[in-house]
Amino acid sequence: MADALVERVTGQVNAADVNAELQIAMPLAVLLDANNHAAAELDGYGPVPADLARDLLSTSKGRVWWRRLYAAPVGGPLVGGDPHRRRFDGHLRKLIMWRDQHCRDPFCDAPIRHIDHVQRHTDGGLTIYPNGRGECERGNYAREMPGWKVEVVTTGLDGRHHTVKITTPPGHAYQGRAP
């Protein structure tokens, strides 16, 4: 009965094909080589057989998102992520929300509703920690109006607070600093 409900609510023909995010970490060599049986890592669970991870990725009819993460050579720690993904989500979204705590527009203490690219994604802005800021809906929509300009002053990666400069259409400039 639960499968029938999911099928009707989501519009999926098969309840097993709904969009879901499984965070599977596996080396590219394991993903591409069916003879490589090293374990993959399922976030929140632990190691899973590589065959099972490949099967999950290849047989789902739901939407599959790929995020490239880069590790230091020879099993080192993660050193970077896919900066071309459109949305701030997952841990990156949480980090920005923890950093900003409320809307980053000056004189606004509204709760964060959107994570905005400081340099717009459509203008080549990357989906990375220094290029994100928490915004209320009004602030994010107003910024899309002609004449508004937002730029990073300090990235927050050098021990100083993440700071952005917001210039309004009449030319008034304000700084929004992370708490």
DSSP 83: T
Q: Report the distance separating Cα 132 and Cα 149, nearest Å.
A: 15
Query: Under 8 Å CB-to-CB from 149, ≥6 apart: which residues?
Result: 166, 167
pLDDT of residue 64: 66
Q: Report the distance separating Cα 17 and Cα 39, nearest Å.
A: 24
84 with 67: CB under 8 angstroms? no
- Residues (pLDDT < 70) of the chain are 11-23, 61-83
pLDDT of residue 136: 93
pLDDT of residue 74: 58
Q: Map out the domains of the chain as residue ranges.
A: 2-66, 90-177
